[in-house]
Structures are given as C-alpha cells and as structure tokens.
Chain A
C-alpha cells in the first residue's frame, strides 16, 4: 500500500514546503506535541494535521460544539498611515475591495491581485474600532505566501504608509456553535459581536484582538494576542468541556464543505476573483471605478461574463474525487478540473469544487468526474454544501 505521509499531507498543504525549508514553530508547538498531535510540515511550519481522535471526530466536534485551531503560522501585519483615508487608498491600489468605506471595527475578505487580475493571495482586512488607531489596517495573509505578499505590498506603498509585520503575535480560531458561550465565559464582550467585526478586549485577562470570523463555515472567532501569551488563552479555552483542539486535516474538510477557497488550489495567479465566484467581495464602487491591479480584466468579466467559473460538485456514491480530477460532460468532453475534493464528514458524502466552462456551470447540470480513469457521475451543486452558521 502506498502510505507516503507526504503525499497524503500534500492534500492540505497550500504550497508544498521546499525540501530545504527551515521548519518553523508556532508559539503553541510544544502544546500540540504534548497533546499527541501528528505533526507535518506545512508552509515551512511544523503543524498539527490531527490529534489522536482523528479528522472525522475533529470535524464533527467543530460542527457540533467548538474546535480550537492554531493558525499562528498565518501572516499578521499592520499597514500604518497618517489617517484611514490614506492607508485605505494605499491598500485599494492592491486589492479590489472597498476599504475607504470600511467602518471602524469591521472586517472584509479580499484578494491581492497581479497586473493581469490573477490572485496572488487572499486576505482579511480589518479596520480598528479604536479612534487612536485610525490610519491602521490589520491584515491576515496565508502562511505560504506571506514573504512574497509583504514584499509585494511594501514595494507599492506610498512613503507615508508603512507595513509592520506582527511576527510577535499568535493567532487562534475558535469555531463552532459552542464558540460564543466558551469565549464569552472568559471574555464577556465577545458575546455581542456581529459577524465580520473586530474588537480589542481582555481574554482570560490577556490583551487580545478578537474578530467574529473564521474559515470553517461555523460561527466563531479569531483571537490574536502576543506570542508569549497566546498559550495561556489556548489553555484556558481547552478547560471548557465543549472545546477541543482541531488540526489542519479537519480545517481542510470544514472549509471544503463551507465552499471556501484554499489558496494554491481553488485560487491562484491564473484565476480572477470573478472566475473564482468571489464577486461578492468586490463592492460596487470598486467595480465602477477600478483602480486596482487587473481592473481592466475584472471589469470586462463583470460586463461580459467569464468563460470558466468555480462551481461545487456532488459526486454520486461514496468515492471522493480529488484535486486534479478532470471534469467531463456525459458525452466525454473535458470541460474542467477539480481544484479541491474529498469526503465531507457532515454531508457523509463526497464533495468537490472546481472550474468548468460557463455553459456547464448551472446547478443541476450532470457531469462526470474522471477518477482513476473511470467516469464518476456528479451533479453541479450550490455552495456552501453545508449551511453556514454565521451570526449576522
């Protein structure tokens, strides 16, 4: 049997780590090892892919109670300028989201674009609610892309806006229907927060920035705090009987069921946000005014439509279709490729996403997924595959 752990784990790696890559450790590394996690290289970091209970149990726990994830490998940084307008305009020159009109304490999902409108990375942008911090934007980017992202951003900032890497910070995500109660028990202010908002508060007595967001499709929070202190928050949350640590394996199956893109798989430098069905992340003003890299392509795609688009697929039966599987019509014409696929534990069935030509993208369309040379019948389905639990 082929049980090459690296091959298996490549499924959750956004970008495979180079062989010579230095293995970095998050501030929570020793805790993962002590909890018995299976550690794998991921984006240059030694990360927990699963704890002893396994991916299925961890996935289901997150959907039913609350999962705690170490996402400290992700890139946290601040853009700091003299006022909000200046910093927002500097960032808007790189991404297609409306940041000028982002209200204090609000968060937005966007993408760093290249000149051709391809996606260099996806990211979260947060405007501080604190008037003293007006002019600062907090960004979270993907671990595998952060070095390139920072260089790309820094090279394009005006002289009065600076990028400050927050490498001294850790980041954890608490996700699931029990997340609110578990966090509110040690940070009462977290309870009233709306989806995609951010506040600074004390969590278990430690100064932290808390946002009501995440990447599992569940209600939940991301908590950023000093690297030296994040472990205390992690330990305190794990004292709650509803909270268990969850690895990258379940994070991948959760985000797939939620229809969320994984950079390097579902989106990359060749895909535009319109092709990726991320048009909701480009607000009206930016669509009309442009002024971001690749705006000509993206405005054309809005006006004329795209030739290929990201869709969801539900295979019949139980065999999963993995990344790379070709998508064909029942007549055998190849019309696309799977970019993420696997078994959805909540669905108790396989699910996948991929790109197909526009003519074959309508929900209900019957297509074949070519798995090990054989056509596997599937149907185009609306995403998310599992309804999300966000608190709006």
Chain B
C-alpha cells in the first residue's frame, strides 16, 4: 500500500516501491492561493534531499518546491502546464509535480507521517 510522508516545508511524497510522487500539501496550496504556473525539472535530473525540485507560482509570488528525499526525476506532470489550477483543486491527486526514483530509502525516516503532519500544521 502506498504510504505518504511529509516535510516541514509542506511537500508530500507518496511512496510506491522505490518511486515517490512529489507534490505540495493542501495546506500549502491554501497558503499560496491561485496557482498560475509550475516550473518542472527535466526528466533524468538528479536532485538532492532539500534541493530545489520545482517552482510553483501563484498570482502573488514564486515559491520553491524542495525534494523531500534524494533521487532521480523519472516523470513530471505535463498536465500542469495547461492546467496549473489542478494544484489548488486536487494537490494530492491531479496536482502532483514529479516522480522520483529514490536513492536512499533511509531518508524517508526523517519525514513526517500523515498524523504527524496534521499535528504539525495545527501548530502553525
């Protein structure tokens, strides 16, 4: 079964085997407001944990999306080019950004579980 982990910077990564789907949380999209553009990485790019993986732009401002773990970009959500609003409407589903082939499964240990993340955003 897929398991989802979260960063303090409001990215999620949904793990299936050795691959993770990365996006931003519902909390994050609410904070950003209307998303108008998403800049996605090239397929094949190697990203380090905490490094910039994508950029999401709302009407107001640009925000960086960091890689929750290290890995290689194996897919990006090209649908966002024409429909960036999917990030607002369905951040955990159609609004995903990219898929990573994980370099080190142990890096997942430092991320929050669903319950931990829900508690975390209550403190913000």
Chain A residues within an 8 Å CB radius of B64: 1-2
> How far apart are the CA atoms of A3 and B61 in the complex, in Å?
10
On whether the beta carbons of B39 and A319 are closer than 8 Å, the reply is: yes
> How far apart are the CA atoms of A320 and B39 in the complex, in Å?
11
Give a binary string over B94-108; 1 marks a CB under 8 Å from any A CB, 0 the rest: 000000000000000
How many chain B residues touch A (Cβ–Cβ < 8 Å)? 27
Chain B residues within an 8 Å CB radius of A49: 60
Give the residue name and chain of the B residue nearest to A57 (CB). B34
Q: A320-B62, A343-B59 are known contacts. Are A1 and B37 too (CB-CB below 8 A)?
A: no
Q: B11 at interface (Cβ–Cβ under 8 A)?
A: yes
Binding-face segment, A6-14, A109-117, A228-236 = A6-14
Binding-face segment, B13-21, B24-32, B69-77, B112-120 = B24-32
Chain B residues within an 8 Å CB radius of A322: 61-62
- Minimum distance in angstroms from B54 CB to a CB of chain A: 9
> How far apart are the CA atoms of A316 and B84 in the complex, in Å?
17
On whether the beta carbons of A249 and B36 are closer than 8 Å, the reply is: no
Q: A285 at interface (Cβ–Cβ under 8 A)?
A: no
A:348-365 near B, CB below 8 Å: 350
- Minimum distance in angstroms from A256 CB to a CB of chain B: 10
On whether the beta carbons of B33 and A50 are closer than 8 Å, the reply is: yes
Give the residue name and chain of the A residue nearest to B63 (CB). A2
On whether the beta carbons of A253 and B9 are closer than 8 Å, the reply is: no
Q: A318 at interface (Cβ–Cβ under 8 A)?
A: yes
Partner pick for A1 among B28, B36, B59, B84, CB 8 A cutoff = B28
Binding site for A on B (CB under 8 A): 7, 9-11, 24, 28, 31-34, 36-37, 39, 55-66, 81, 84
Binding site for B on A (CB under 8 A): 1-3, 5, 7-12, 49-50, 54-57, 59, 249, 252-253, 318-320, 322, 342-343, 345, 350, 372
Q: List 27 A-B contacts (CB under 8 A).
A: A1-B9, A1-B11, A1-B63, A2-B9, A2-B64, A3-B9, A3-B28, A3-B31, A8-B31, A8-B32, A9-B60, A11-B60, A49-B60, A50-B33, A55-B59, A55-B60, A56-B34, A59-B59, A318-B36, A318-B37, A322-B62, A343-B36, A343-B57, A343-B59, A345-B59, A350-B37, A372-B39
